[in-house]
C-alpha cells in the first residue's frame, strides 16, 4: 500500500503507532486475505481509519508543540514586554491551538465511524457502538443473540467497557465542538510572586490540555487496534491464533502488540 509506505518512514517502525497500525495490521491482513482482490477491498475500508488516526495524531502533536514552544518563549522573555502595568505578549497561539484541538476530536470521531464501516464489511456490524445508551444496550443484546458464543460476549463487553471508560466523554466534547461552536478558553498571562510572567494554558475538567488529548488518543488508538484484531480472530481457525505479545517482549525496532502463531497443542499431521 503506497500511502502506508510513504507515511511509515516519516518516523519509522520504532514508533508503536506505526508499528502496530501499519506493519502489524498488514501482516495479519495478508494471512486472512490471501488474494490481492480481497486485500484491496479490506484496504478500501481500512485506509480512512488509518488516515484519520494519523491526522488525529498530528493534531495532538501540533497542540503539544504549540504549548511547549509558546511556554518556552514566555519563560525566556522572548515574546514578553511590559507597558506601564500591563503585560504584553508579541505572539498568540489561541486560534491555532483551538483549531488543532477541534481537529483532534473531529478526526478521531471520523476514524471511529470508519471503523464501524470496516466491521460491517468484515461481517460483524457494530454501528450500535456510536448510538445513545438505550439503543446501544438493545442492539448489543441483539448482537449477542445473533452471534452465539463466549467470544462474542467478550467482544460486546469490550465495547461496553470502552464506552464507559473514555468514549462517552470523548463524544460529548466532540458534539460540543461540532454542534455548539466550542472554543478553548484563551491563554491567560500573569506574574508570579517574583514578577516573572507565566502563561496559564486551557484545562479540561481540571486536567491539562496535553494530558487530555494524550489520554484520549491512547484510548482511540488501542480501541481501534483491538477491535480490528478481535474481528480478525473471528476469521481465523485453529491451530492458527492471534496472541498478545507482553510489553517487555516486544521488539524495540518494531514493537507490534499482536502476532499470528500456531497452537502446537492443537496441531496434528494426521
How crowded is the C-beta side of 250, counted as CA atoms within 13 Å?
20
pLDDT band at 242 (very low <50, low <70, confident <90, very high): very high
**C-alpha span between 96 and 190 (Å, rounded):** 21
Per residue in 154-174, is it b (16+ CB within 10 Å) or e — as a string?
ebbeebeebbeebbebbbebb
Q: What is the model's pLDDT at position 79?
A: 93
Q: Give the residue-averaged pLDDT of 3-19.
A: 71
Q: Find where cell 495532538 sits.
A: 60
Q: Give the residue-averaged pLDDT of 58-63.
A: 97
For the cut 80, the answer to whether the pLDDT of residue 266 exceeds it is no
Q: What is the model's pLDDT at position 51?
A: 95
- Is the four-CA dihedral 76, 80, 84, 86 of positive or negative sign? negative
**C-alpha span between 174 and 25 (Å, rounded):** 27
Among residues 84, 91, 94, which one has the least CA distance to residue 63? 94
pLDDT band at 12 (very low <50, low <70, confident <90, very high): confident
Q: Which of 8-12, 60-64, 238-242 has the highest mean predicted lDDT (pLDDT)?
A: 60-64
**C-alpha span between 166 and 171 (Å, rounded):** 9
Q: What is the model's pLDDT at position 265?
A: 61
Q: Find where cell 494530558 sits.
A: 211
For the cut 90, the answer to whether the pLDDT of residue 70 exceeds it is yes
Q: Per residue in 127-186, pLDDT tens?
A: 998 999 999 999 999 999 999 899 999 999 999 999 999 999 999 999 999 888 889 999
Judge whether 181 lies within some domain. yes
Judge whether 216 lies within some domain. yes
DSSP structure class, residue 234 = T
Cis peptide before 18 (omega within 30 of 0): no
Judge whether 115 lies within some domain. yes
Q: Which of 84-93, 98-107, 180-189 has the highest mean predicted lDDT (pLDDT)?
A: 98-107
For the cut 70, the answer to whether the pLDDT of residue 269 exceeds it is no
C-alpha cell at 189: 498571562
Structural domain total, the chain: 1
Q: What is the model's pLDDT at position 181?
A: 83
Judge whether 162 lies within some domain. yes
Judge whether 17 lies within some domain. no
| Range of the structural domain that residue 67 is part of | 33-235
Angle among Cα 75, 81, 87 to the nearest 5 degrees reads 90
β-bridge mates for residue 244, sequence order: 258
Judge whether 61 lies within some domain. yes
Q: What is the model's pLDDT at position 237?
A: 87
Considering the chain, what is the average pLDDT of its residues? 91
**C-alpha span between 20 and 49 (Å, rounded):** 13
Q: Give the residue-averaged pLDDT of 209-229.
A: 97
- What number of other Cβ atoms are within 10 A of residue 13's Cβ? 19
pLDDT band at 11 (very low <50, low <70, confident <90, very high): confident
Judge whether 202 lies within some domain. yes
DSSP structure class, residue 246 = P
Judge whether 23 lies within some domain. no
Amino acid at each position: 500500500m503506497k500511502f502506508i509506505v510513504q507515511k511509515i518512514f516519516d518516523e519509522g517502525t520504532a514508533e508503536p503507532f506505526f508499528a502496530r497500525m501499519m506493519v502489524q495490521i498488514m501482516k495479519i491482513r495478508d494471512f486472512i486475505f490471501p488474494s490481492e482482490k480481497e486485500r484491496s477491498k479490506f484496504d478500501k475500508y481500512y485506509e480512512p481509519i488509518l488516515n484519520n488516526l494519523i491526522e488525529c495524531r498530528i493534531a495532538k502533536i501540533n497542540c503539544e508543540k504549540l504549548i511547549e514552544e509558546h511556554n518556552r518563549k514566555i519563560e525566556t522573555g522572548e515574546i514578553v514586554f511590559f507597558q506601564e502595568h500591563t503585560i504584553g505578549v508579541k505572539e498568540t497561539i489561541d486560534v491555532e491551538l483551538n483549531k488543532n484541538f477541534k481537529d483532534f476530536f473531529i478526526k478521531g470521531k471520523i476514524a471511529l465511524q470508519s471503523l464501524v464501516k470496516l466491521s460491517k464489511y468484515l461481517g460483524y456490524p457494530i454501528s450500535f457502538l456510536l448510538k445513545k445508551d438505550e439503543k446501544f444496550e438493545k442492539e448489543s443484546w441483539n448482537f449477542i443473540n445473533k452471534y452465539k458464543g463466549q467470544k462474542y460476549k467478550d467482544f460486546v463487553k469490550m465495547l461496553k467497557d470502552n464506552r464507559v471508560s473514555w468514549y462517552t466523554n470523548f463524544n460529548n466534547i466532540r458534539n460540543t465542538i461540532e454542534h455548539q461552536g466550542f472554543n478553548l478558553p484563551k491563554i491567560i498571562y500573569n506574574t508570579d510572586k517574583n514578577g516573572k510572567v507565566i502563561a496559564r494554558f486551557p484545562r479540561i475538567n481540571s486536567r491539562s490540555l496535553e494530558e487530555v488529548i494524550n489520554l484520549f488518543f491512547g484510548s482511540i488508538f488501542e480501541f481501534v487496534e483491538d477491535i480490528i484484531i478481535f474481528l480478525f480472530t473471528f476469521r481465523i481457525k485453529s491451530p492458527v491464533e492471534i496472541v498478545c505479545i507482553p510489553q517487555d517482549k516486544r521488539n524495540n525496532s518494531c514493537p507490534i502488540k499482536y502476532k499470528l502463531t500456531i497452537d502446537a497443542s492443537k496441531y496434528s499431521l494426521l
